[in-house]
Amino acid sequence: MIKRTVALGALGSLLLAAAPALAGPVDDTLVVNDEIEMTTRTAAPEHLSDVMDEVISGWHFRGDETRLMQADDFDNPGMIFVEQARDSWGEVEGTEGKSCASCHNEPESLAGVRAVYPKWNEEAGEVRTLEMQVNDCRVNQMGAEELKYTSVPMQSMVALISSVSRGMPVNVAIDGPAQETWEKGKEIYYTRFGQLELACANCHEDNYGNMIRADHLSQGQINGFPVYRLKNTKLNAAHDRFKGCIRDTRAETFAPGSPEFVALELYVASRGNGLSVEGPSVRN
Amino acid sequence: MAKTLTLSVGLALAATCVSAAEIAPSDVTYEDGAVAQSLSGAAGDATRGREIVGNKSLGNCVACHMISDQAEVPFHGEIGPPLDGAGERWSEAELRGIVANAKMMFDGSMMPSFYKTEGFIRPGKAYTGKAADDTFGPILTAQQIEDVVAYLTTLKE
């Protein structure tokens, strides 16, 4: 159950969005389906100790209605895509006559996986996102076609894999063989791109809680991805968000799935270490 | 500041009316963050400046600044200080410097440089996400900067 301080109509939320007096994260707690208790704010991970004390899910920066939608799977439109992915999970595809279920049984067998991705893959010698791993299984285990990185079937599958980890703390490894990629992602995070010369940090580290025009800035966390956005009524990949945020600095952006975004994803994920996996979450 | 300069094609395209007295972005001289001379060689128009400041696809200053005089524009941001009284706090030359390239006045400022064409990392073609091409110019033209400055000087507490 969700604790609501005020009951607001659609008009009320619109008016409030314009009021700077509301600056800062909303004081609220998220329990999904009266069952999964989400850690939506927690002490910042060690590597952030010199820049912030607390990490906060983007959920706290959205309006009352949007937050409420995420508290119940019947109200969360992202769960429709999860159900579709459950159907694909058992469908045989490719030359090997296999489905995901052939090797992984129930999707629930992948509980905990979302929380540690992106992750170093020893055999391949690379940091892999969930999307890369799903495609690796499709191509090399099933003899099936790759799914496009930000496509509906791919993001639905990633949402399914995330959903079985909901409530578990994000815990990506940033040391050992992943460190080089992590450092690269960190550098991107602090680079002031484009004609507006803005870095992720300018908005999401220095100004979270503040309004930028009509938008209430969050910390830009990715524990809730894939995100169902009311704006485009579909599941959005983390890389889609990165792409949009860099484009909005009047910059030449990077492509979803590019090495730059894989590195950035690892770094941004590590900034949310300790927050619960929320995907698929709901945002505006 | 040398007024004899050859204007780049990009700038000529971006500017609606190019006058011989115009100072190109890379030729602007800052003194303690301020710019003494008109960038266009002409006076600014405060009415046009008011429009540029509130317009999303022009200055979009209200994205970051609250301005009481722009009450009809919805959603003012709070990244920078409110601009009420800016015309009292700063001289015209200082305001010109701040709008043209705020980083000269405020080291490392988050405020974008509106009259600058060099030194960017991965500059794009406006908001397309694609690489900049030969249409690349400053965010605001010399005359638009002057118009904004003229407007800002009218902002009194």
**C-alpha span between B112 and A27 (Å, rounded):** 32
Query: What pLDDT score was predicted for residue A9?
Result: 35
pLDDT greater than 60 at residue A2: no
pLDDT score recorded for residue B20: 64
Q: Is residue B39 part of a domain?
A: yes
ipTM over 0.90: no
Give the model's confidence band at A266: pLDDT under 50 very low, under 70 low, under 90 confident, else very high: very high
Instruction: Tell me what the mean pLDDT of segment A201-223 comes to.
Output: 97
Tens digits of residue pLDDT in A86-121 = 999 999 999 999 999 999 999 999 999 999 999 999
What DSSP state is assigned to residue A41?
E
**pLDDT of the residue at B157:** 85
pLDDT value at position B4? 41
CB pair distance less than 8 Å for B120 and A195: yes
Of B63, B78, B139, the CB nearest to A23: B78
**Which domain range does residue B74 map to?**
27-115+138-156
Mean pLDDT taken over chain A: 93
Q: Which residue has the higher pLDDT, B118 or B8?
A: B118
The answer to whether residue B14 scores a pLDDT higher than 80 is no
pLDDT, residue A22, reads 53
Tell me, yes or no, whether B108 lies in a domain.
Answer: yes
Quick: pLDDT tens for A141-164.
999 999 999 999 999 999 999 999
Residue B9 covered by a domain: no
Judge contact between B25 and B115, C-beta under 8 A: yes
pLDDT in tens, B66-110: 999 999 999 999 999 999 999 999 999 999 999 999 999 999 999
Whether cis (ω within 30° of 0) applies to the bond prior to A259 is: no
In this prediction, residue A24 carries a pLDDT of 87
Q: For residue B65, is it within any domain?
A: yes
Interface test with A, best of B76, B107, B120 (most A CBs within 10 A): B120
Q: Is A245 a known active-site residue?
A: yes
Number of structural domains (chain B) is 1
Whether B1 has a pLDDT exceeding 60, the answer reads no
Q: Rounded to an integer, what distance in angstroms lies between the CA atom of residue A281 and that of residue A71?
A: 9
Count of pairs with CB atoms under 8 A, one residue in A, one in B: 85
Q: Does residue B10 belong to any structural domain of this protein? A: no
Look at residue B22 and tell me if it is in a domain.
no
The alpha helices in chain B, defined as continuous H runs, are 9-14, 46-54, 86-89, 92-101, 142-152
Beta strands in A82-217 (DSSP E): 119-121, 126-128, 211-212, 215-216
Residues of B in contact with A23 (CB under 8 A): 78
The rounded mean pLDDT for chain B is 91
Residue B132 neighbours by CB distance under 10 Å: 21
Is A252's CB within 8 Å of B124's CB? yes
Residue B121 forms part of a structural domain? no
Query: Which chain A residue lies closest to B60 (C-alpha atoms)?
Result: A213
A188: nearest CA partner in chain B: B121
With CA atoms as reference, report the closest residue to B110 among A215, A203, A268.
Answer: A203
- pLDDT at residue B19 tops 70: no
Residue B64 Rama label (left phi>0; alpha psi -120 to 50; beta): alpha
* pLDDT beyond 80 at A11: no
Cα–Cα distance, B136 to B124 (Å, whole number) = 8
Query: Residue B62: inside a domain, yes or no?
Result: yes
Residue with tokens 């004081």: A27
Question: Within 10 Å of residue A167's Cβ, how many Cβ atoms?
Answer: 17
Q: Say which CATH number the domain at B81 has.
A: 1.10.760.10
Query: Is the CB of A183 inside 8 Å of chain B's CB atoms?
Result: no
Give residue-wise pLDDT tens across range A214-235.
999 999 999 999 999 999 999 9
For the record, the structure tokens of B70 come out as 């722009």
